Copies of this chain bind each other. A is one copy, B any other.
Amino acid sequence: MFSLQDLQDKVNLLIANQEFKKTPPKLYDPIAYTMNQGGKRIRPLLTLIACDLFGGDIDKALYPALALEVFHNFTLVHDDIMDIAPLRRGRETVYKRWNSNIAILSGDTMFALAYQFALQTDHKLVPKILEVFSKAAIEVCEGQQLDMDFESIPTVNIEDYLEMIRLKTAVLIAVSLQIGAIVANASEKEIEAIYNFGTHLGMAFQLMDDLLDVYGEQEQFGKKTGGDIASNKKTYLFLKALELCNKDERKLLNDLYNDSGIDPDLKISKVKLIFDQTGVKADVELLMQDYYDKAMDCLDSIQVQEDRKSQLLILSALMLKRNY
């Protein structure tokens, strides 16, 4: 069994050893720029952890793990165009540094590269891995579309929002673990349990991301805080605040989201004030706890020696910034 640090080192080394810079440079430079700028690399780590959890051969999981990281980065490159996001991990986004066309095409290439990496494993495993990978890829696109749809409709119910973040974020966390389990030849029941664990973890993780977008430190977070508010994203925070606040606050909150002329910084601070008044932060934390508990129930159902689960428990805690 490997330590979390061992696995993290394997992921970092694997990525560092790839030569993303090829010809034509305008296509590949943005790919190297994206892949070499770090990021938490949670998804490939989850693949290796799941593979190790079920006693699989880590070496067979390396390239499928890389595929998940490349795919994730591809979605960021395209999402940043759609969201008109200037910063990512503290640096200019690809479409900002180059242009939209280059970001589209480099992203497309990354998607194809992801598949190319996913193929580099035991050939018997390939159809199953690519089946779950492709399904997840499509769901991620569905999630992103729902996210964009929500920006332009007046009311979103909380259930729809949660389904959107399941598709946009949780599914990829879940499939990263699932692919690790597939490589380890885990049973169908185990594969399902680790997938469900990942879904719940992913939900909690996205809620944490929503919280950080409002309450995080810009430097630590790597992108401008308040971005969700500035772009009228109807996050769980916003939707729950609407539920919790009084009539006057509700009108103000809706007006702020509908006011396209307002200075973004002013808008962010005013919306934050209402969030604080409603105490919605505690509410989000409660929901996160609920998803975390559900994730733990799934993990409990997996019949392996308890100490094999330690990496996953540590990483989950790190992902959710939990202090234990």
Contacts and interface: CB of A to CB of B under 8 A. Distances in A.
Interface residues of A, number: 37
Contacts of A148: 26, 101, 105
A112 B138 contact: yes
Indicate how many identical chains form the complex: 2
A251 interface: no
A108 B141 contact: yes
Contact of A116 (B105, B116, B134): B134
Interface in A183-240: none
B111 A142 contact: no
A58 interface: no
B78 A104 contact: yes
Contacts of A134: 112-113, 115-116, 119
Contact of A26 (B24, B82, B111, B145): B145
Interface string A135-170: 101100110111011000000000000000000000
A307 interface: no
A308 to B, nearest CB: 30
A127 interface: yes
A32 interface: no
Nearest to A109: B141
A115 B142 CA distance: 16
Given A116-B134, A126-B130, A141-B108, A100 B100 contact: yes
A138 B116 contact: yes
Nearest to A78: B104
B138 A127 contact: no
16 contacts: A24-B146, A26-B149, A27-B142, A27-B145, A82-B101, A100-B100, A101-B148, A108-B111, A108-B137, A111-B111, A112-B137, A112-B141, A113-B134, A116-B134, A119-B130, A126-B130
A107 to B, nearest CB: 8
A128 to B, nearest CB: 9
A123 interface: yes
A-B pairs, 4 with minimum CB distance: A27-B145, A112-B137, A109-B141, A82-B101
Contacts of A112: 111, 134, 137-138, 141
Given A119-B134, A130-B119, A135-B116, A108 B27 contact: no
Given A24-B149, A127-B119, A82 B105 contact: yes
Contacts of A141: 27, 105, 108-109, 112
A131 interface: yes
Contacts of A146: 24
